[in-house]
Chains A and B, each alone.
Chain A
């Protein structure tokens, strides 16, 4: 069964450094999501792509976070500079589509990247 892939699984960095996370969605999935999950809380959407276009980045701290999905397949999330409060699990998810009410827009999650900022 195809799964969403993420790397690295763990990242430790010092504050003010730059970090980057990579996500490879399930093949053929047009929609890709980046979530941040703080320990003990539910995931919070940071950015949503439809193919290569951003459709929602309202919760993305744009002064330090950036995301791209240049060819509409894999995606990179970058933080520069990292701050102590950025320590969290960063989850990537994908879905075949993003509209309607059928199972075609079920979101499938990757294993996440756990970021620790020292």
Chain B
């Protein structure tokens, strides 16, 4: 089955700096890669996603890049703000069935 690894497990950045989280996946048939943000005590919420026919996608201060050959994808947050502090999860999915396999999560702390 699919295996998703996520690094780093914790990330501390100064407000205004950039944060980068990296994920690798094992199944080359995976074609959809969402990122979820989970604030303390709250539900995971989708913040951005990318499909395998696209190499990069941006939405304001967040962007995701995908390298299908190397089977890795990354989340980039620019100009970080204290409200970006949360746990971020990457996931991978194959076309059939919609089963998401999640990475272990990255706890991001933005220091004011």
A28 within 8 A of B: no
Cα–Cα distance between A5 and B89 once the two chains are bound (Å)? 21
The distance from the CB of B43 to the nearest CB of chain A, in whole angstroms, is: 4
Question: Given A91-B44, A101-B32: A42 and B102 within 8 A (CB)?
Answer: yes
| CB closest chain-B residue, reference A6 | B43
Contact with A along B77-112 (1 / 0, CB 8 A): 000000000000101000111111111110000000
Cα–Cα distance between A9 and B57 once the two chains are bound (Å)? 35
Among candidates A41, A91, A95, A111, residue contacting B105 with C-beta atoms closer than 8 Å: A41
Cα–Cα distance between A17 and B85 once the two chains are bound (Å)? 37
Instruction: State whether B99 touches A48 (Cβ < 8 A).
Output: yes
Interface SS of chain B? strand
Instruction: State whether B98 touches A31 (Cβ < 8 A).
Output: yes
Among candidates B51, B97, B103, B104, residue contacting A98 with C-beta atoms closer than 8 Å: B97
Instruction: State whether A112 touches B43 (Cβ < 8 A).
Output: yes
Instruction: State whether B89 touches A101 (Cβ < 8 A).
Output: no
B-chain residues with CB within 8 Å of residue A40 when the two chains form the complex: 104-105
Instruction: State whether B95 touches A100 (Cβ < 8 A).
Output: yes
Instruction: State whether B98 touches A105 (Cβ < 8 A).
Output: yes
B31 within 8 A of A: yes
Cα–Cα distance between A108 and B99 once the two chains are bound (Å)? 13
Inter-chain residue pair count (beta carbon < 8 A) = 60
B45 within 8 A of A: yes
Question: Given A41-B104, A42-B103, A106-B49: A95 and B98 within 8 A (CB)?
Answer: yes
Instruction: State whether B43 touches A91 (Cβ < 8 A).
Output: yes
Among candidates B95, B97, B104, residue contacting A42 with C-beta atoms closer than 8 Å: B104
A-chain residues with CB within 8 Å of residue B104 when the two chains form the complex: 40-42
Instruction: State whether B99 touches A110 (Cβ < 8 A).
Output: no
Among candidates B36, B95, B97, B101, residue contacting A48 with C-beta atoms closer than 8 Å: B97
B-chain residues with CB within 8 Å of residue A99 when the two chains form the complex: 95-98
B46 within 8 A of A: yes
Cα–Cα distance between A48 and B93 once the two chains are bound (Å)? 14
Instruction: State whether A109 touches B43 (Cβ < 8 A).
Output: yes
| CB closest chain-A residue, reference B105 | A42
Cα–Cα distance between A27 and B104 once the two chains are bound (Å)? 30
